[in-house]
Chain A
Amino acid sequence: GQSLEQPSEVTAVEGAIVQINCTYQTSGFYGLSWYQQHDGGAPTFLSYNALDGLEETGRFSSFLSRSDSYGYLLLQELQMKDSASYFCAVSGNSGYSTLTFGKGTMLLVSP
């Protein structure tokens, strides 16, 4: 079967750095994506890794190790507005473009 594991909750203070880990087990794999969702809102795309290594987009970076079936999202210079749920998702389980999501990590940023 398929499974994605990520912590259910992470807390941090403004200005800090936080890392959200994701391990996965899937029958097909093309890449690992990260999405952000504010309470009750629409998930929004943050990043995508198809190859091993680090991808950087502003304050956010994402890493993938295909051999370890592991990735992480790194958020730097945390701001209050970063308080949200973060989902890792793998593509390839039901087809190239379909996404299988983890249960999400709720990030709480305090002043």
Chain B
Amino acid sequence: DSGVTQTPKHLITATGQRVTLRCSPRSGDLSVYWYQQSLDQGLQFLIQYYNGEERAKGNILERFSAQQFPDLHSELNLSSLELGDSALYFCASSVGTSFSNEQFFGPGTRLTVL
């Protein structure tokens, strides 16, 4: 158990819909990262927040957005969903300043778009 929690575990929805994925980082971690994992694209970095502020952006689509709240939990919002958005979405957290940049991953949310 990494100490990172994600809800829900599974999500099934239809094309065109909007969903929100939630992540609570490990106690004390200020950085939160979102990743998308699909069979053809592998594990792709989407976005990072550090202490409430957006720190870095990766391959995040315009239809996706995220935020980190004052209690440091984070939400990833996916809208106008397409079949290709079906994937495993991981949240990870880190202290943000460690030398090794070790990231602790949550169990993931499996999103299925029908």
Contacts and interface: CB of A to CB of B under 8 A. Distances in A.
Contact of B101 (A40, A42, A48, A100): A48
Interface of chain A: mostly helix, strand, loop or mixed: loop
Q: Is the interface of B mostly helix, strand, loop or mixed?
A: strand
B105 A48 contact: no
Interface of B: 2, 4, 31, 33, 35, 42-45, 48, 55-58, 88, 90, 92, 94, 96, 99-108
Contact of A101 (B44, B88, B96, B99): B44
A7 B60 CA distance: 26
Interface of A: 30-31, 33, 40-45, 48, 50, 87, 91, 94-104
A44 B42 contact: no
A28 B88 CA distance: 27
Given A42-B106, A98-B45, A104-B43, A91 B101 contact: yes
Nearest to B4: A42
A98 B102 contact: no
A102 B45 CA distance: 11
A95 B103 contact: no
A94 B64 CA distance: 18
